[in-house]
Amino acid sequence: MTSPNLRNRTVVIVGAGPGFGHTLALRAAAQGASVVVAARTASRVEEIADAVRRDDDVRRAGGTAIAAPVDATDPDSVRALRETVEGHTDAVHGLVYSAFAVPSMKPLARTDHAQISAGIDLSVLGALRTTQEFTPLLEAGVAGGARGDGSAAAARPATSSVVMMASAVIHHSRERYAGYKIAKTALVALGHSLATELGPRGIRVNTVAPGYIYGDTLKAYFESLATKYGGTVEDVYAHTAEKMDLRRLPDEAEIVDPVLFLLSDAASAVTGQTLTVDCGEFHT
């Protein structure tokens, strides 16, 4: 938190939710970034932005926050988001795409094709729409050159960064996760292709694939399992963590940290990669 490696940057977070998105916005702004939090629910992103503005670490670092509604499945809405951002800055240095919807949890034989299409539209085409719309602003971030943060990395060639949030579901084929895996695997492929196409323009594209994220949502799910099958939340946690090399589950901050790394100049030579963050459930 004391290293201002995002100072003088603008970071747009599309799909900013109350868990990961809130933590990412807070941590990025506390490193000096101007963050734009965007999601479908206007009241939610305004709440996140307000919490960021009120944070003492953010104020000391000079970070700021802007709230903007967006529907990533609607090209006009994504364009309106870009126009909103242009009203505040002429360059974007980081774009994080984490739009999410609860997927169908049925075997493929019983999954409606429309549900799979909707997942692909949000996860994959939404990421593509957003990246296409923001490419000129990301290029302007590259053209800005040195960051002026005094770090050794500031002397390297400037880059802008796109980070897409996939899922460790891409590494397994467990029943009921097929529709979600299809969408997230396609997202990874999109990231690879965009990295190749946008690399010559100084824009890096990577994906992060979290496993379980131990926050309020997962805790509530574990509570429901404990009630259904007997035992305690601690029992459910321990049973789940047995599959991880570290025998625990990552929390929201441990997912955010790799994203902040990929947004920063510390990752200036990293592009076209997928980073799995799951405490060692899968080896990739």
Can you give the pTM of this predicted structure? Answer: 0.93
- The domain in which residue 127 lies consists of 10-151+159-213+251-277
> Mean pLDDT of residues grouped by 10 in the chain (284 residues)?
74 94 96 97 95 95 96 98 97 96 82 90 97 98 67 72 97 90 96 98 98 91 93 95 97 96 95 98 94
Do both 175 and 267 map to the same domain? yes
Q: How many domains does the chain have?
A: 2
Do both 71 and 193 map to the same domain? yes
Which pair of tokens denotes residue 262?
């990929």
Do both 90 and 23 map to the same domain? yes
Do both 206 and 238 map to the same domain? no
- The DSSP line for 53-89 is HH-HHHHHHT-EEEEEE--TT-HHHHHHHHHHHHTT-
Q: Residue 160's closest CA among 24, 1, 9, 8?
A: 9
Work out the burial of residue 66: count CB atoms within 10 Å of its CB; fewer than 13 is exposed, 13-18 middle, 19 or more buried.
Answer: buried
Residue 167 has what DSSP assignment?
-
Q: Residue 165's closest CA among 184, 181, 192, 182?
A: 184
SS3 208: strand
